[in-house]
Amino acid sequence: MLKKVFAVACVCAALAGGYLYQAAHEKGPEQKNIADDPANLPVLRDEAALNLALKSISLSQGEGGFELWRLKAEWAGLQKSEDLLVLDKPRLTYFMKEDGKVMRVSSEKGNIEQKARIIRFIDGVHIIQDDKVFEGELLVYDDAQKAMSFPEGGKFGGKGMNGRAETITWFIDRRLVTAEGNVSVHFE
């Protein structure tokens, strides 16, 4: 799965490189190359040096001929030494196989560990599916287990209830949500 993501990222990089090469060689003396403008650089300042940066990336994964998820980000940077794809403003759409429902995940930052098949959403994480809402600062999606976890705690809510816990895990395929550590639930 993540090998496919890496392959898609490489193809996107090649296309982006070709576009930048063409744009750089076609500009006239008065034109400014927008790629040179610091305002157009990714907001990934806290990350280690990147081997490759891509603007407006879109990745997807399928399983058994069915699209499982689609991820879009405003920027992505590849850290080849760590096999890490760093994301700015990632947005994930997860398609539930059983009932055709859609889950949407968003955050300010994120990353993908390709070999480990892990996607992390960092800062201001927000999940919405029907009337269910989950929020926290760190969400880890484990593709092998098909589980989304808030290991540093989070809030959850749904029709007629809301709560919080130190750890929240959503086992997507099993349709099971677990909460551990100082769990509190309020019913309306």
- Which domains can be identified in the chain, with CATH numbers? 2-187 (2.60.450.10)
The H or E element that residue 82 is part of is none
Amino acid letter for position 29: P
- Collapsing DSSP to helix, strand or coil, 170 comes out as strand
Whether 121 and 107 have beta carbons less than 8 Å apart is answered as: yes
**Is the pTM higher than 0.75?**
no
First-last CA distance in the chain:
42
Are 42 and 52 within 8 A, CB to CB?
no
Q: Backbone dihedral region of 123: left (phi > 0), alpha (psi from -120 to 50 degrees) or beta?
A: left
Task: Supply the pLDDT for residue 65.
Answer: 84
Q: How many helices (H) and strands (E) does the chain have?
A: 1, 14
Residue type, 117: R
For residues 129 and 43, give the distance between their C-alpha atoms in angstroms, rounded to a whole number.
28
Identify the three-state secondary structure at position 95: strand
Q: Please give the DSSP secondary-structure letter assigned to residue 96.
A: -
What three-state secondary structure class fits 83? Answer: coil
User: 93 near 67, Cβ under 8 Å?
Assistant: no
1/14 Cα distance (integer angstroms): 20
Listing DSSP states for 110-152 in one string gives EEEETTTTEEEEEEEEEEEETTEEEEEEEEEEETTTTEEEETT
pLDDT tens digit at each of 188 positions of the chain: 545 544 444 444 444 444 444 444 444 444 444 444 445 444 444 445 556 778 888 999 888 888 989 999 999 888 876 788 999 999 999 998 777 889 999 999 999 998 889 999 999 999 999 999 999 999 999 999 999 999 999 999 999 999 999 999 999 888 899 999 999 999 98
